[in-house]
Amino acid sequence: MPYPPLFTKVGIVKETTYGTGGTATSFVALNGEPKPKPNLKMLEDKSWRGWMGEDQDFIPGPYDTSIDWDGNAYPDIVGFPIVGVLGDVSYSGSTIAPTGTVGTGGSAVGATSIPSSVSIPASTLIQIDTGLLSEVVTTSGAPTGAGPFTIPVPALKYAHLAGVPITAINTAGPFTTVASVLNSGTGQPPSYAITDAYGPAARQYPGIIFTEFGLKAEAAGLLTYSAKCMGLPETVVSAPTASYSAERAIAAYSGAVTLGGVSTNIVESMELTVKREAEGIQAVDGTQAPRQIWGGMVSTDGKMTITVEDEVQYLNFINNSQPSLDLNYAFGTGVNARQVKFHLSKAAYTAVAIARGKKWVQLDVTFKGRFNTTDVGPSGGASPIAVTLQNAITPGTYK
């Protein structure tokens, strides 16, 4: 029997260890068909053998995979390709009691306990510190001491000074995720496993590295995105039971734009693309699969069409002003607060073109995100963009 394509299910989960796969925990609502591709290179034997032809044999060679898809930019699912391309992330939540401060001595990277001015029960979701060093963990045991208290925690990612906040946060959210380019360790972004159940089989692609996230904001339509990624050879797995988010699609017109720090209503459409180079490391090790899909340089570029009311944006190109650029979607309150925000501290205009094809004059602008030290995450260095998400996704899901 044939299979209807509308029954396709694409699920994703962050891998605990690179290349080991996993059971999908989040599912992608697709705009049309996904595009998985087995990139199996056939090695051709074209030796001359005394006859009028050279196609002597085809030997299976290196084998990796790719999968692309398009979707509506729901404020939760877009976090996977955004964090997946950029790599660095900080989390924070909504404060509830008890609240206190980190005690004398603070904590070091890798510490499994932290001194606190307040007692915090076991299995409490807490936030330590603020800003780039904000860290969200679940306490791993009962507190000890009579004040200051020693709070057991999983191994901490960052060092925290005495006196910074330590507080319980609401498990219902909302949680805030800020993503930037990762510039520490090996510089490698998180890896994922993607499962594509399409009818006769469910194929899982492990060791996935996202290579591109593209956002499209056309004022007359929905906010949409595209994702591209590269991974290891697929395996056949059991079809997952899909459960989709209740988040609603976002109307592109509902966003707010600032250029050079000034709120504006002249932007009719905008596209933003964040890319990461990637290549499989092939070894003489008895297997067709790469050892790993290795991520390389990151870049950000985009384009926008604006209504011409003055020459400010034209002159931003001529004078190489490199204004800041913000595209922000924020709505809802309390636990239902949601946000998808893209911030470039330095948007370098690379070309402009005056367009007169409509009943009003427009300006088409292309730009690149310049690496700067303002848009960075906890790993420091520089980044061309910082992306802020607010949703109900538990910290640690994306990375």
Does residue 109 form part of some domain? Answer: yes
- What letter does residue 254 receive in the DSSP assignment? G
Domain that holds residue 359: 5-38+59-90+176-391
The verdict on 202 and 271 lying in the same domain is: yes
Tell me the HSE value of 97 on the side-chain side, using a 13 A CA sphere.
Answer: 0
Domain boundary among 144, 169, 194: 169
| Span 42-64, average pLDDT | 96
Domain boundary among 169, 196, 215: 169
Which amino acid, residue 203?
A: R
The verdict on 211 and 296 lying in the same domain is: yes
- What letter does residue 255 receive in the DSSP assignment? -
The verdict on 157 and 277 lying in the same domain is: no
The verdict on 264 and 331 lying in the same domain is: yes
Does residue 51 form part of some domain? Answer: no
Predicted local distance difference test score (pLDDT) of residue 121: 95
Going from the C-alpha of 183 to that of each of 90, 179, 289, 380, 384, the distances in angstroms are 14, 12, 27, 6, 12
Which residue's structure tokens are 């699609």? Answer: 249
The verdict on 232 and 317 lying in the same domain is: yes
Could you tell me how many residues make up the chain? 399
Domain boundary among 169, 191, 217: 169
The verdict on 296 and 385 lying in the same domain is: yes
CA 266 to CA 223: how far, in whole Å?
17
Does residue 45 form part of some domain? Answer: no
| Span 382-394, average pLDDT | 97
CA 344 to CA 323: how far, in whole Å?
9
Does residue 48 form part of some domain? Answer: no
Average pLDDT, the chain: 96
- What letter does residue 379 receive in the DSSP assignment? T
Tens of pLDDT, residues 310-321? 999 999 999 999
Does residue 159 form part of some domain? Answer: yes
pLDDT band at 202 (very low <50, low <70, confident <90, very high): very high
Residue 79 has pLDDT above 90, yes or no: yes
How far from chain centre, in Å, is Cα 172? 22
Tell if the pTM clears 0.85, that is, is over it.
yes
| Span 69-95, average pLDDT | 97
CA 399 to CA 395: how far, in whole Å?
8
Peptide bond into 174 cis (omega under 30): yes
Residue 176 has pLDDT above 90, yes or no: yes
Tens of pLDDT, residues 236-263? 999 999 999 999 999 999 999 999 999 9
Does residue 302 form part of some domain? Answer: yes
Q: Judge whether 240 and 197 are in contact, CB under 8 Å.
A: yes
The verdict on 15 and 155 lying in the same domain is: no
Does residue 399 form part of some domain? Answer: no
CA 93 to CA 175: how far, in whole Å?
4
The verdict on 193 and 145 lying in the same domain is: no
Q: Judge whether 383 and 342 are in contact, CB under 8 Å.
A: no
The verdict on 248 and 338 lying in the same domain is: yes
CA 298 to CA 179: how far, in whole Å?
13
| Span 61-87, average pLDDT | 98
**Alpha-helical runs (H) found in the chain:** 79-86, 312-318
CB contact set of 395 (below 8 Å; sequence gap of 6+): 91, 93, 136, 175, 177
Does residue 44 form part of some domain? Answer: no
Longest Cα–Cα distance of the chain, Å, equals: 90
Nearest residue to 396 (alpha-carbon basis) of 175, 217, 204, 95: 175
The verdict on 107 and 199 lying in the same domain is: no
Tens of pLDDT, residues 127-164? 999 988 999 999 999 999 988 999 999 999 999 999 99
Predicted local distance difference test score (pLDDT) of residue 242: 94
pLDDT band at 348 (very low <50, low <70, confident <90, very high): very high
Nearest residue to 43 (alpha-carbon basis) of 61, 63, 64, 65: 61
Q: Facing residues of 331 across strands? A: 338
Residue 1 has pLDDT above 90, yes or no: no
Going from the C-alpha of 132 to that of each of 126, 178, 399, the distances in angstroms are 16, 9, 15
Predicted local distance difference test score (pLDDT) of residue 199: 84
Predicted local distance difference test score (pLDDT) of residue 241: 92
CA 316 to CA 28: how far, in whole Å?
38
Q: What is the CA radius of gyration of the chain?
A: 24
The verdict on 34 and 19 lying in the same domain is: yes
Residue 313 structure tokens: 């944006």
**CATH classification of the domain holding 109:** 2.40.10
Burial class (CB in 10 A: 0-12, 13-18, 19+), 191: buried
Residue 200 has pLDDT above 90, yes or no: no
Q: What total number of domains does the chain contain? A: 2
The verdict on 29 and 125 lying in the same domain is: no
Dihedral (CA of 136, 139, 140, 143) sign: positive
Nearest residue to 93 (alpha-carbon basis) of 177, 151, 162: 177
Tens of pLDDT, residues 177-197? 999 999 999 999 999 999 999
Which amino acid, residue 205?
A: Y
Burial class (CB in 10 A: 0-12, 13-18, 19+), 303: middle
